[in-house]
Amino acid sequence: MGSVRQNLIRSFLVISVLPFIVPVVCADDGYRMWLRYEQVQDAGLLAAYRNAISQVVIEESSPTMLAVKDELEMGLEGLLGRPVAFSTHITGSGALVAGTPSGSPLVASLGLEGRIEVLGADGFLIDQVTVSGNSAVVIAAASDIGVLYGAFHLLRLLQTHQSLSSLPVSSSPRVMHRVVNHWDNIRRLVERGYAGLSLWEWGTLPEYRHPRYTDYARLNASLGINGAAINNVNADARFLTGQFLEKIAVLADIFRPWGIKVYLSANFDSPRIIGGLDTADPLDPQVIEWWNKKAEEIYSYIPDLGGFLVKADSEGQPGPHGYGRDHADGANMLARAVKPFGGIVMWRAFVYDPGRTDRFREAWDEFVPLDGKFMDNVIVQVKNGPIDFQPREPFSPLFGALTNTNTMMEFQVTQEYFGFGIHLAYKGPMYTEILNADTYAAGEGSTVGMILEGKVFDYNLTGMAGVINPGTDRNWTGQPFVQSSWYAFGRLAWDHTLSAEALADEWLRMTFTNDDRFIGTVKEIMFRSREAAVNYRNPLGLTHLYAQGHHYGPAPWTEHHHRPDWGAVYYHRADEQGIGFDRTASGSNAVEQYHEPVASVFRDIERVPEDLLLWFHHVSWDHPMRSGRTLWDELVHKYYEGVKTVRWMQDAWDSVGEFIDRERYEHVRALLKIQERDALRWRNSCVLYFGSFSGKPLPEGLEPPEHDLEHYMDLERIIYVPDPWYGW
């Protein structure tokens, strides 16, 4: 595990061969993300930390405890500005003790078992104790992984300048499976990934273990993430063959000390594609036997494989419907295959049929009739909203509808609909908006977060998944602020009750600086960024106005596709009378899928939140809004507010350059200029297009678009989209 420290040194030091060796520290390129471990600059805090921690005592030597030792060594030396001694026994005051009662006689002697036991296998306790008259800080847990999580938390406290007088701290995860989903392909292109090629170098695995794999695992473990589905849900069946399993087994070996299990996205048609069968019918005995043997083979390579992630009967992916079967038939067949090995099946609920009248309804309509029919090692993975990771959606009505079926959340971190790896859009507020939404499934207080935690229904599996986009870019994510959404997802997967504001504060302090002059300004940028992204794209409940295929620029005029629900007109339904999708009883009646009083609020045009208005109602252009404006004037003002906010974000960022490194400052500054360009294009395209239906002029005092509508429509045909996957 000492390689972790060496990896970081190699990453940040350039060695010049002169008459003598001169180490030169590079500018900060963002590689370390939130694990920078820079020396504490507050003199009083630094002295207090040094006094509290002058040595580290670790008696255990499992691979995970060696990772704990390595992380504490690197983190404490960086934060305290001096090396810290390590030993297996206390030599005086100022010791940090880390371990489990079962593996460390010293920890066992502290009498903490009762306090640790209630925290579960992954929980941890950090406290101040006295050992033989010596003051000490202890990180104790029931498992080595719990100690690892506790070590990262202690380092977080020091990184964010928290006083150790606030101890004790105890924490345990609220959901079991905290999983990141990669949409990585065999050719190393990443679907909806905007930060370079896939991390996984299939051509050099299994022989070469890239140091980046370990750093990736560290980053995830620091948030409490314990699973990674390493390949695209639009799955290539070859990932299940021996030539790839031996490569993936190496990743599993690297991830294991960090508490991360590998999951595989499985192609439902694999028995046909790689198995030589003429069917993939989940009830066919040959197919069942094939999957049983395939599971046995996979687990021979990766004994602790977490299980399968499956996208089926969605966007052309094969599934049980092709054989006249339902989702429970398909999921249960795979669940039986992995159950003897302790595996689970995460079955995605992202399904829609081009023949239906409202895509919004489809997941609920397909899965609710199957409630209670799934095996207990199946967990249905539901996107946060009913359509597809839009900048704002109502919570999916499936949360609260599946009372007898394990259900988990699927959020997106990669910015498919938020400007890719270019725009600044902190998604923490979007995540908490959904997690704190009250479904009323079992009365008031039945929030989405509480359902995911298993506190509303008796789920035996719980979880949250986040689709992330790390690639070969040095800073992992392209736009540096995409890191903040990854961080927020991981922390919320551990504890959904955390606030987006607190997580933004943590991330900024760990990633940039603890200077409050920087923190205050940039936190405001982050919090205004999400609403700006909504306003210059899809205000007031508009949705899916994107150019098709890449989802980067605007194309509200798109309708002529081989399936209507891939075009923008399907969603906004603008005409001379008004705009919006009627989902009340006079339309698709999708509101009936929600519990009361949520359904009544959404169906009432006077009570529905205005930021969801056009999700549920087709509204007259002259409809009076709460601002006193008409719908048309309010819509236009929202588009203009979005651009105005991006311009404010530029000015605010310009004001904080002195507080951080030049490299990241200039990178973000340049990207904000591009974001303004794109926001203007979005605003002008949509205002001119919708104005062609309303027949109304721009509200007084607003600058007119620079060009006519035809100009902006022509831009859609200019391919400059920053997406390496698009077009392959």
Does residue 432 lie in a domain region? yes
Q: How many domains does the chain have?
A: 3
Last residue of a domain, one of 136, 171, 206: 171
CATH number at residue 137: 3.30.379.10
Looking at the structure, tell me whether residues 308 and 163 fall in a common domain.
no
Looking at the structure, tell me whether residues 490 and 399 fall in a common domain.
yes
Annotation says 315 is catalytic: yes
Last residue of a domain, one of 171, 187, 220: 171
Pairing of strands 124-131, 169-171: antiparallel
Does residue 345 lie in a domain region? yes
Looking at the structure, tell me whether residues 111 and 248 fall in a common domain.
no
**CA contacts within 13 A on the Cβ side of 41:** 10
Looking at the structure, tell me whether residues 151 and 196 fall in a common domain.
no
Of 315, 658, 706, 714, the active-site residue reads 315
Looking at the structure, tell me whether residues 496 and 464 fall in a common domain.
yes
Annotation says 575 is catalytic: no
Does residue 491 lie in a domain region? yes
Low-confidence spans in the chain with pLDDT less than 70: 1-26, 719-720, 724-728
The predicted pLDDT at position 1 comes to 47
The predicted pLDDT at position 511 comes to 98
pLDDT tens for 395-413 read 999 999 999 999 999 999 9
Looking at the structure, tell me whether residues 470 and 543 fall in a common domain.
no
- Tell me the helix, strand and coil percentages in the chain, rounded to 5: 40, 15, 45
Q: Which domain holds residue 361?
A: 177-500
CATH number at residue 364: 3.20.20.80
Angle at 115 between CA 224 and CA 93, to 5 degrees: 85
What is the spatial order of strands in the sheet that 134-140 belongs to?
A: 85-87, 55-57, 95-99, 134-140, 124-131, 169-171
Residue type, 120: G
Does residue 564 lie in a domain region? yes
Looking at the structure, tell me whether residues 360 and 491 fall in a common domain.
yes
Does residue 726 lie in a domain region? no
Last residue of a domain, one of 131, 148, 171: 171
Count H helices and E strands in the chain, helices first.
23, 18
CATH number at residue 652: 3.90.1330.10
Terminal Cα-to-Cα distance of the chain (whole angstroms): 39
Of 253, 388, 592, 661, the active-site residue reads 388
Cα 219 to Cα 213: distance, rounded to the nearest angstrom: 10
Annotation says 663 is catalytic: no
Does residue 566 lie in a domain region? yes
Looking at the structure, tell me whether residues 133 and 246 fall in a common domain.
no
Looking at the structure, tell me whether residues 567 and 691 fall in a common domain.
yes
Pairing of strands 85-87, 55-57: parallel
Distances (CA, A) of 133 to 91, 92, 93, 303: 11, 9, 8, 45
Q: Which residues pair with 669 in a beta bridge?
A: none
**At residue 714, what are phi and psi to the nearest 5 degrees?**
-65, -30
Looking at the structure, tell me whether residues 143 and 265 fall in a common domain.
no
Looking at the structure, tell me whether residues 219 and 330 fall in a common domain.
yes
Instruction: Return the SS3 of 523.
Output: helix
Of 191, 358, 416, 633, the active-site residue reads 416
Does residue 24 lie in a domain region? no
The predicted pLDDT at position 724 comes to 65
Looking at the structure, tell me whether residues 442 and 370 fall in a common domain.
yes
Does residue 299 lie in a domain region? yes
